[in-house]
Amino acid sequence: MRIGIIAHLKYPIAQPFAGGLEMHTHLLARSLRERGHEVTVFASSLSEKTLGVEPICEATALAKVGLAEAHDAAFFKEHHAYLTLMKGLRSRDFDVIHNNSLHYLPVSMADTLPMPMVTTLHTPPFCWLESGVRLCSAPNHSFAAVSRSVADLWAHVASVDQVILNGIDLNQFAFHPEPDIDPYLVWYGRIVPEKGLHLALEAARLIGMPLRIAGPILDHDYFQSCIQPHLGSDAIHVGHLDHGDLARLVGGARAFLCTPMWDEPYGLVVAEALACGVPVAAFARGAIPEILDDSCGVLAIPDDAASLAAGGLAAVSLNRWDCRLRAEAACDAQRMIDGYEALYHRQIATNADLADTALAVTALHG
């Protein structure tokens, strides 16, 4: 198939990944290309070229503008980039377009394209994307959601045709049958308030075990006020790591503390930890209960550090091989790619049926 993937433009689709959406888009494009499909990724200019990237904009979160104008500058850059792209796609020879952008324009303009589109819903509804989804009237368009939790959150706006759980490349997160000799807990992800690192720090203190932290600092005010004062020999930020170093760090931990302050749409970090054989203690939010079961994790009361600490103490005694088995059963990227391939084929067939119907109607009234 000839597949066009529309990425979001905040950050490059390249390692080290700014977050789960960048990793998902990278993995999707790479895996589809490995299966022999012709893939083009419409993304920001610093994205990995081996994915078949056609740059349409600079990464808007990295734009060098003043704070006062940053939001407006990013908005207009993205609007112009996606509008230009959607107009250009009308004359391109793709079999299907996969919209991963989280932007209102691609989905609202899906009816202007001759080829079908699949839009993946990666987040709970927010105002701009919700307005675009409401405007989508394309008969050859399909919505997929990354979890049942996300599908339910969008039910008042969109009919989700298929839930396709996110997946990870299990080969990049090798199983660690034993943790490091020196015990530690791990937390990793984007360092922003909604990821709740401050609660992981408190839980680790209650457990009495060192915490190692990895991830990009994307909210410097939050880091300086809520995180940095608590760093020291028992709480170390090791930086923003690539896949290899991250897998080694996670795999050596006794448990992973997962602390979302919002309804996590999926939780790729949970899948990655399980693949490494690391038990998880997590707030029971969003899709995380769809991934964890009693064999590999413990769910805690959301926003409650004491509950998370109790969960962490229980998690360290779980069997590491059971964690890996859960990842293989529920989090394998190949299962995810199978699901998207099937959805693409279904949309292409639907598009052909619509075209045949239109020709028949034209002939009837001709």
The larger pLDDT score, comparing residue 25 to residue 72, is at: 25
Clarify whether residues 289 and 143 are in a common domain.
Answer: no
Count of residues in the chain: 366
Segments forming the whole domain that contains residue 312 = 170-329
Q: What amino acid occupies position 313? A: L
Clarify whether residues 355 and 293 are in a common domain.
Answer: no
pLDDT band at 66 (very low <50, low <70, confident <90, very high): very low
Q: What is the pLDDT, as a whole number, of residue 68?
A: 45
The larger pLDDT score, comparing residue 17 to residue 253, is at: 253
Clarify whether residues 121 and 222 are in a common domain.
Answer: no
Q: What is the pLDDT, as a whole number, of residue 352?
A: 75
Give the distance from CA 219 to its chain's centroid.
19
84-98 per-position pLDDT tens digit: 999 999 999 999 999
Domains in the chain: how many in total? 2
230-269 per-position pLDDT tens digit: 999 999 999 999 888 999 999 999 999 999 998 889 988 9
Q: pLDDT at residue 365 above 80? A: no
Q: pLDDT at residue 9 above 80? A: yes
Clarify whether residues 142 and 242 are in a common domain.
Answer: no
- CATH of residue 310: 3.40.50.2000
Clarify whether residues 272 and 339 are in a common domain.
Answer: no
Q: What amino acid occupies position 294? A: D
Q: What is the pLDDT, as a whole number, of residue 67?
A: 44
| Main-chain dihedrals φ then ψ at residue 210, nearest 5 degrees | -60, 150
Determine the average pLDDT of the residues in 279-294: 96
Q: Is 250 helix (H, G, I), strand (E, B) or coil?
A: helix
What tokens were used for 81?
């980039």
The larger pLDDT score, comparing residue 362 to residue 174, is at: 174
C-alpha to C-alpha distances, 349 to 46, 96, 354, 356, nearest whole angstrom: 35, 11, 9, 11
Clarify whether residues 162 and 184 are in a common domain.
Answer: no
Cα dihedral sign, 61-6-20-247: negative
pLDDT band at 109 (very low <50, low <70, confident <90, very high): very high
Percent of the chain with pLDDT over 70: 93
CB distance 44 to 72 below 8 Å: no
State the angle between helix axes of 20-34 and 333-365 in degrees (0 to 180), rounded to the nearest 10: 70
Clarify whether residues 23 and 163 are in a common domain.
Answer: yes
Q: pLDDT at residue 63 above 70? A: no
pLDDT band at 69 (very low <50, low <70, confident <90, very high): very low
Q: What is the pLDDT, as a whole number, of residue 75?
A: 84
The larger pLDDT score, comparing residue 72 to residue 109, is at: 109
Q: What is the pTM of this model?
A: 0.85
Clarify whether residues 87 and 225 are in a common domain.
Answer: no
Q: pLDDT at residue 220 above 60? A: yes
CB distance 215 to 190 below 8 Å: yes
Q: What is the pLDDT, as a whole number, of residue 353?
A: 64
| Main-chain dihedrals φ then ψ at residue 109, nearest 5 degrees | -105, 10
Partners of 68 in beta bridges:
none
- Residue linked to tokens 């919700």: 130
Q: What is the pLDDT, as a whole number, of residue 355?
A: 55
Clarify whether residues 295 and 347 are in a common domain.
Answer: no
* Dist CA 195 CA 193 (whole Å): 5
Q: What is the pLDDT, as a whole number, of residue 117?
A: 98
Determine the average pLDDT of the residues in 154-168: 93
Clarify whether residues 114 and 243 are in a common domain.
Answer: no
* Dist CA 176 CA 179 (whole Å): 7
CB distance 253 to 179 below 8 Å: yes
pLDDT band at 222 (very low <50, low <70, confident <90, very high): very high
* Dist CA 190 CA 218 (whole Å): 7
Clarify whether residues 158 and 294 are in a common domain.
Answer: no
pLDDT band at 325 (very low <50, low <70, confident <90, very high): very high
Q: pLDDT at residue 24 above 50? A: yes
CB distance 59 to 10 below 8 Å: yes
Clarify whether residues 269 and 213 are in a common domain.
Answer: yes
pLDDT band at 73 (very low <50, low <70, confident <90, very high): confident
CB atoms within 10 A of CB 15: 15
Determine the average pLDDT of the residues in 269-294: 97
Average pLDDT over the chain, rounded to whole? 92
State the angle between helix axes of 320-330 and 268-275 in degrees (0 to 180), rounded to the nearest 10: 130
| Least confident segment among 141-145, 250-254, 357-361 | 357-361
CB distance 129 to 103 below 8 Å: yes
Q: pLDDT at residue 223 above 90? A: yes
DSSP alpha helices (H): ranges in the chain? 20-34, 67-89, 104-108, 127-135, 148-153, 197-207, 220-222, 243-251, 268-275, 288-291, 305-315, 320-330, 333-365
182-213 per-position pLDDT tens digit: 999 999 999 999 999 999 999 999 999 999 99
pLDDT band at 124 (very low <50, low <70, confident <90, very high): very high
